[in-house]
Amino acid sequence: MEYLNEVIENLKAKNGHESEFLQAAYEVLTSLKPVIDKHPEFKNMALLERITEPERLIMFRVPWVDDKGQVQVNRGFRVQFNGSIGPYKGGLRFHPSVNQSIMKFLAFEQCFKNALTGLPIGGGKGGSDFNPKGKSDMEIMRFCQSFMSELYKHIGQDVDVPAGDIGVGGREIGYLFGQYRKLRNAYEAGVLTGKGLEYGGSLARTEATGYGLIYFMREMLKANGKDLAGKTVIISGSGNVAIYACEKAQQYGAKVVAMSDSNGCIYDPNGIKLDVVKQIKEVERGRIKEYAARVSGSTYTEDVNCRNIWKIKADIALPCATQNEINLEDAKTLVANGVMAVGEGANMPTNIEAIEYFLEKGILLAPAKAANAGGVATSALEMSQNSMRYSWTFEEVDKKLDGIMTNIFKACEKAANEYGLSQNYVAGANIAAFDKISKAMIAQGII
């Protein structure tokens, strides 16, 4: 414990202003305690110091011209955190909240998540404080081109393979790929994932994170003698992860009664009509509020903090919007209302106090780095298809995804049981991922 505390204190001293990164590192490190106790030799190797220090952090200027001819400047990032098991891999986030701390937390988490998939991918993340909301298509394109004009120097299909995240969907990936291809004068399809189907994308990538979350949830419930059929579900967010988690949960017979966006949440006691949500969010790029105007019997509550949704009674809660959207108070409300399982679709949606509370109360908690790994796993399948210059069918990719998620659950369960932490899948995920990364790092020497 002494070594662990030392590492945590040093991290705080060095990165005091990076609260999200410290939170992510603390959560992982503390859950590794039984492993560290078993391996005193890690201290001499400075293994924990190395695993919490990014291999490289690139920060760059992104100048672009808006529709009025005014020059705008944003800040771009790429964090290449750990490449010991494969090329760095992780999404790009375009959101005004993006800063170094958020980038580092996401890249750190990504290393563990990617290790859990069983596929050969290291961890990275990137993005910009650019706000795509309210921008025209041409503004988005000019921004993406400027962003890629710097990023292309640092990525490559065997080096670092970015993908989408919040604010970066198919449209942005298309503009980024076009600029990369132009600058490199080569068709290196495997340099980005989340591409359109016409130019190297994979079927089922769009659905993968949401579907994968539900496959993990299915396995976790099964291992505890429960299932999804007939359960009431609430899902925060109404973006990519939320929509496809809703679709798969409904296919398994669950009733999803609430969804949200960054302005508020909708409640539909008859069950969310997902075609209406898709029309509003995917086609019209509108606000979730419009659902209530279109579907009778549903209601809308304005809620800028994304918190009212957790007051709705449900058996299963799926936070699929953003980090730290469930705090201790929300966790207490959910438990008081009878929630039995929580599945993290978003990255780090539950803060540390809330995680501890859920575990203490025996709530089944599917941790993000395991439960939302379906997206990156399918991205890796996209890379495989690009290398083979071949495409699998939707059913083939979906079946592989299901198998990967089932294996991830089993790995978390096994690691948790091995250390006498049964049902603590949070610790199980961290331990299983750490086992793989640490072995690869040790094998490769002091690098």
The residues of the shown chain that bind ligand NDP, judged by CB under 6 A, are 165-167, 209, 237-242, 261-263, 306, 320-322, 345-347, 372, 375
Handedness of CA 300, 305, 306, 309 (dihedral sign): negative
User: Smallest distance, Å, CB 259 to ligand NDP?
Assistant: 8
Q: Between residues 219 and 261, which has the closer beta carbon with respect to ligand NDP?
A: 261
Q: Between residues 234 and 241, which has the closer beta carbon with respect to ligand NDP?
A: 241
| Separation between Cα atoms, residue 372 and residue 113, nearest integer Å | 8
Q: Between residues 149 and 240, which has the closer beta carbon with respect to ligand NDP?
A: 240
User: Smallest distance, Å, CB 344 to ligand NDP?
Assistant: 9
- Contact partners, residue 167, CB within 8 Å, separation at least 6: 93, 94, 95, 127, 130, 131, 132
Q: Which of 104, 113, 125, 281 is catalytic?
A: 125
Q: Between residues 193 and 232, which has the closer beta carbon with respect to ligand NDP?
A: 193
- Which long-range CB contacts under 8 A does 16-22 form with residues at least 24 apart? 17/101, 18/100, 18/101, 18/104, 18/105, 19/101, 20/101, 20/102, 20/104, 20/105, 20/323, 20/324, 20/348, 21/101, 21/102, 21/104, 21/105, 21/108, 22/101
User: Smallest distance, Å, CB 111 to ligand NDP?
Assistant: 14
Q: First vs last Cα of the chain: how many Å apart?
A: 25
User: Smallest distance, Å, CB 166 to ligand NDP?
Assistant: 4
CA-CA distances (angstroms) from residue 300 to 62, 233, 254? Answer: 38, 17, 21
**Separate counts of helices (H) and strands (E) for the chain:** 18, 12
User: Smallest distance, Å, CB 167 to ligand NDP?
Assistant: 6
Concerning whether 125 is annotated as a catalytic residue, the answer is yes
Q: For residue 293, how many other CB atoms are within 10 A of its CB?
A: 10
Assigned token pair, 13: 């001293």
Assigned token pair, 276: 């209406």
User: Smallest distance, Å, CB 126 to ligand NDP?
Assistant: 12
| Separation between Cα atoms, residue 98 and residue 96, nearest integer Å | 6
Q: Between residues 139 and 261, which has the closer beta carbon with respect to ligand NDP?
A: 261
Q: Between residues 267 and 419, which has the closer beta carbon with respect to ligand NDP?
A: 267
User: CB-hemisphere CA count at 13 Å for 57?
Assistant: 14
Q: Among all residues, which ones are annotated catalytic?
A: 125
